[in-house]
Amino acid sequence: MADDTSTAADTRHGVLFDVDGTLLDSNYQHTMAWWQAFRRFGHDVPLAEIHRAIGMGGDKLVEHLLGEDRDAGQDAELDATHGALFSSYWPGLRAFAGAGDLVRRCADDGLTVVLASSSSQQDVEVSRRIIDADDAISAATSSTDAENSKPSPDILQAALDAGGLDAANTVFVGDSVWDVEAANALGIPTVGLASGGTSEAELREAGAVAVYKDISALLDAFEEGPLHRLAASSAGGPGVV
């Protein structure tokens, strides 16, 4: 029977990354795609309201913006239309500066890296090519991996399972209050990035344990941040909090 030391050494520590607005500069393209999709179905939803809902899964976003008294029979078509419109932005999408470097830095520190996305499988594949750090990514999720989308925690649980991780030894990196709410439900601390358009104050109020302006700022402070402390804890050092 293994002793406590070997058990601790064998425990995986990992980081889950949201993709849109976190590693990929794509939140505003999603906002425009949703705005166009709503217009095609006769709904005039302000762009600002759509942007504030980005980070939710498509099903939750439609209900959130159109209300419970909407024609729910349109939901699937709205989601599909958004997806088709968003794909037209693929050629111009860019990763945030340092996205690939951050992913590799985490992996080099011994963390298991999982992309926790609820986008379509095609969107995830495109995103991975743009991030260009597949050598450091252990697993990734898509919309097919969870029945309920964010802010429900299902996709994060799927990401934990995909990486062979448990919540107690994991940190989530995301950019929206919906990301933080989903992680809170599983007891996973969230590192927030304001790069998706949500303010530091909102992310902290939702419960993020640390917030950075963008990936570059997180990398600059990496040695003092939660991700490095998590990696250190995997080697027997102090934990995240």
Buried b / exposed e along 204-222 (16+ C-beta atoms within 10 A)? eebebbbbbebbbbbbeeb
Average model confidence (pLDDT) for the chain? Answer: 93
Binned at pLDDT 50, 70 and 90, residue 8 comes out as low
pLDDT for residue 4: 46
Q: What percent of the chain has pLDDT over 70?
A: 93
27-92 folds as: DNA polymerase; domain 1 (1.10.150)
Model confidence pLDDT, tens digit, residues 184-214: 999 999 999 999 999 999 999 999 999 999 9
Model confidence pLDDT, tens digit, residues 40-59: 999 999 999 999 999 998 88
pLDDT for residue 229: 92
pLDDT for residue 240: 52
3-state secondary structure 50-91: HHHHECECHHHHHHHHHCCCCCHHHHHHHHHHHHHHHHCCHH
CB atoms within 10 A of CB 143: 19
Model confidence pLDDT, tens digit, residues 115-127: 999 899 999 999 9
Do 135 and 95 contact (CB within 8 A), yes or no?
Answer: no
Model confidence pLDDT, tens digit, residues 15-39: 999 999 999 999 999 999 999 999 9
Across the range 99-105, mean pLDDT stands at: 98
pLDDT at 5 > cutoff 70 = no
pLDDT for residue 232: 87
Maximum Cα–Cα distance across the chain: 65
Q: What is the pTM of this model?
A: 0.92
What letter represents residue 136's amino acid? A
User: Which sequence spans correspond to the domains of the chain?
Assistant: 4-25+94-234, 27-92
Looking at domain 4-25+94-234, its CATH architecture is: 3-Layer(aba) Sandwich (3.40)
Binned at pLDDT 50, 70 and 90, residue 237 comes out as low
pLDDT at 3 > cutoff 50 = no
Going by C-beta distance under 8 Å and a sequence separation of 6 or more, which residues neighbour residue 240? 171, 189, 209, 226, 229, 230, 233
- 46/65 Cα distance (integer angstroms): 10
Helix (H, G, I), strand (E, B) or coil at 17: strand
pLDDT for residue 115: 98
pLDDT for residue 226: 95
Model confidence pLDDT, tens digit, residues 74-91: 999 999 999 999 999 999
pLDDT for residue 26: 98
pLDDT for residue 148: 86
pLDDT at 96 > cutoff 70 = yes
